[in-house]
Amino acid sequence: MEHVNIYDQISSNKRLSYLLFVVFFIISFILAFIISEFFGGGYAGTTIILILAVIWMLFSYYLGDKAILALNHAQEVKKEQYPHLYHTVEGLSIAAGVPMPRVYVINDPAPNAFATGRDPKHSSVAVTKGLMDRLKRIELEGVLAHELSHIKNYDIRYMTLVMVMIGLIGILSSTIFRMLFYGRGRHNKSGGALILVGILFAIIAPIIARIIRLAISRKREYMADASAALITRYPQGLADALKKIEASHVPMVKANPDTAPLYIANPFAGKKELFSNLFSTHPPIKERIKILEAM
């Protein structure tokens, strides 16, 4: 039964979120330990790093959605500004049985959308202007129903935590790595540190990659597509919307690359060469359309 799967998905997402906190804490601990060992920070160094890690965890949980919305230049809108969009979200939340999320608009001509938040009561949906311009009401309903399914399934909690919490480690390690790599000639002392960072990177990178891949698993997207069809009772609407999104070929300007997996479709589809590694995990749109049309 479909409903059983949704409840499975909810508890799985909550479990994964807890697991994420644990993994993050362990990674921070290893980092703190190694750094203190090498630079002689002692217990104080370790403690400071661990406190910072806990603060970052709290920040990710309570303010991660706001950070992601700001990074993607999304602006909250009122009913009066976009009555059509607002009504559609309102109607679909009634059908999905979730509280009304906050509505955000991204001033970007490329059609795309994402949802974020920590639970259905604290959730937001963001759509681009391009999406509203290109889609008919019934297609827009399909896309928004997909996003509301992410909210209802608690996908938003897990995905937001991954993007904010793990994203930081990814960014930090790659930044340090790059800094050391390019700054090799100038600092002779960095030899030891380079090895250290190399080791850290070797330990952490596969874990992070695995977590991110889990977050954007195809199952999650297919599941949200199926739930969207159940909410609107019209799978063709979302299928047509995905076709238009695929055909647009306009890469997003305002999207933040590190949060790209949150979007319903790859926001940088036009620039494949640059980002192919990172986004190959986005489920193929053609496959999704095929499944929706067979419903």
Partner 1 sequence: MSTIIFGILLVLVFVFVLMYNGLVTMRNRVKNAWAQIDVQLKRRYNLIPNLVETVKGYATHEKTVFENVTKARSAAINASGVGDQAQAENMLSGALKSLFAVSENYPQLKASQNFMMLQEELAGTENKIAYSRQFYNDSVMLFNTKIQHIPYNIIANLFGFKEENLFEISIAAEKETPKVKF
Q: Is 214 in the site for partner 1 (CB under 8 A)?
A: no
Burial class (CB in 10 A: 0-12, 13-18, 19+), 294: exposed
Cβ closest to partner 1, residue 68 vs residue 148: 148
Among 23-31, 95-103, 167-175, 267-275, which window interacts with partner 1 (CB under 8 A)? 95-103
Q: Is 121 in the site for partner 1 (CB under 8 A)?
A: no
Among 88-96, 151-159, 173-181, 245-253, which window interacts with partner 1 (CB under 8 A)? 88-96
Among 89-97, 212-220, 238-246, 264-272, which window interacts with partner 1 (CB under 8 A)? 89-97
Q: Report the C-alpha gap between 92 and 144 in whole angstroms.
A: 8
Least Cβ distance, residue 7 to partner 1 (angstroms): 11
Binds partner 1 (CB under 8 A): choice among 18, 39, 58, 83: 83
Distances (CA, A) of 192 to 30, 170, 189, 200, 203: 18, 21, 7, 12, 17
Binds partner 1 (CB under 8 A): choice among 78, 189, 233, 249: 233
- Helix residue ranges, H only, the chain: 2-39, 42-71, 83-96, 129-134, 137-152, 155-161, 167-182, 190-215, 218-232, 235-248, 272-279, 285-294
Binds partner 1 (CB under 8 A): choice among 42, 97, 191, 198: 97
Active site residue 273: no
**Nearest in space to 88 (alpha carbons), one of 163, 79, 284:** 79
Active site residues: 147
